[in-house]
Amino acid sequence: MCYSAQILADYRRYVRMFGAQMSIHEFARLFFERAEDNQAKIPKAMEDAFSEPQSDAEREVWASIERFRSQQTVKLEQELFKQRTRFADAERSLQTKVTKAASESKRIAQDKIDRTLERLDDLRRIDPKAADSRIFPGYYAPVMVMENGQRVVKPMRYQCRLAGKPASYDTRYPGTYNARRDSLEGFWKTLFGHSHGLVLASAFYENVPRARMEGRELAPGEKDENVRLEFRPNPPHDMLVACLWSRWSGKGEPDLLSFAAITDEPPPEVAAAGHDRCIIPIKPEHIDAWLNPGPRDLGALYAILDDRDRPFYEHRIAA
């Protein structure tokens, strides 16, 4: 499965590269709703794409982003005060008598202080980092779809909730951020041939057992450990990752746009690194055919998945 990916988070590049339009309404709704309930997980790079707004609509989005960041700053500063107070109390207790409880309280407080300061620095940081464009299940990403014959970019959550299903579906099926190719006409039949999308990604990340990565059996009594690998295409380029997407509506709930990346059997180099699935990047010449599918000709869609972009995936242990 594709546990994580390095995406292209700046919607403007979709516009420049593919002539796509931005669904500004959907972006505005997402950022406004997040400022109201603080629930949506959005990569920093996706926010920063609006840092120099060029229209009233974009200024509205940026205002929601700044409101959210201000709210987060207040919460983090309150947490920082709380943990510094806890640290000082523990230090005073230790000056009187050394106890395990006070020592542990001091250690925990210092850990939380360090993490809170890091999060505050991240909120205020201007210089971009690669991690700003990283998504995990539950995070939002720009997804290119087709509407009325026009390529359109919309923000969607990376974990697909099928229309008509209850919200508890997310918990019951936590792996729905990936759509296995062999289940496209089963579990995913309401979307395959109907609602297709593309996400631009420059790398993907997978969790693999260390022993499998090293191509060996576990020694007697040895416990295996998880290793997170980064896979990048060689030659380096942004991959057009094939996706399925859904618009979910629920009574008294805001609409949810969400997607899943289609995965298939891995190429030899990915399998040799210890993983059993891989994303499917399509070729640029298939963009419109993929985004404008026909449910009566699924064979043509499978042909697009077969005639995929096929770079060599180099891997390394992720930071």
SS3 77: helix
Measured between alpha carbons, how far is 93 from 273 in angstroms, rounded to an integer?
Answer: 51
Give the pLDDT confidence score for residue 118 in this predicted structure. 95
Cα 41 to chain centroid, rounded: 8
Give the pLDDT confidence score for residue 213 in this predicted structure. 85
Per-residue pLDDT tens digits for 275-304: 989 999 999 999 999 999 989 999 999 999
Q: Quote the percentage of the chain above a pLDDT of 70.
A: 99
What count of other Cβ atoms lies within 10 Å of the Cβ of residue 79? 16
Per-residue pLDDT tens digits for 101-131: 999 999 999 999 999 999 999 999 989 898 8
| Residue with tokens 């974009």, as numbered in its chain | 58
Tokens of 45: 């790079």
Which residues are CB-neighbours of 36 under 8 A, at least 6 positions away? Answer: none
Which residues are CB-neighbours of 95 under 8 A, at least 6 positions away? Answer: none
pTM: 0.90
Measured between alpha carbons, how far is 80 from 109 in angstroms, rounded to an integer?
Answer: 9
Per-residue pLDDT tens digits for 10-38: 888 898 899 999 999 999 999 999 999 87
Report CA torsion sign: 65, 66, 71, 72. positive
Measured between alpha carbons, how far is 190 from 152 in angstroms, rounded to an integer?
Answer: 21
- CA count, 13 A, side-chain hemisphere, 13: 13
Measured between alpha carbons, how far is 210 from 219 in angstroms, rounded to an integer?
Answer: 12
Measured between alpha carbons, how far is 31 from 49 in angstroms, rounded to an integer?
Answer: 13
Give the pLDDT confidence score for residue 2 in this predicted structure. 62
Per-residue pLDDT tens digits for 164-212: 999 999 999 999 999 999 999 999 999 999 999 999 999 999 988 888 8
Tokens of 97: 């008598």
Query: What φ, ψ does residue 62 adopt, rounded to 5°?
Result: -65, -35
Bridge partners of 206, per DSSP, are 229
Query: Is residue 1's pLDDT more than 60?
Result: no
Measured between alpha carbons, how far is 160 from 248 in angstroms, rounded to an integer?
Answer: 9
Query: Is residue 3's pLDDT more than 80?
Result: no
DSSP assignments along 177-217, one per residue: TEEEGGGTTTTTTTTTTT-EEEEEEEEEEEEEEHHHHTT-P
Contact present, 123 and 27 (Cβ < 8 Å):
no
Q: Give me the amino acid identity at 137.
A: P
Largest CA distance in the chain: 78
196 closest CA partner among 134, 136, 238, 154? 154
Q: Quote the percentage of the chain above a pLDDT of 90.
A: 81
DSSP code for 232: E
318 closest CA partner among 227, 233, 257? 227
Query: Which alpha helices (H) appear in the chain, and where do they start and end?
Result: 11-18, 24-37, 44-48, 56-96, 100-124, 169-172, 210-213, 268-272, 287-291, 298-306
Give the pLDDT confidence score for residue 215 in this predicted structure. 84
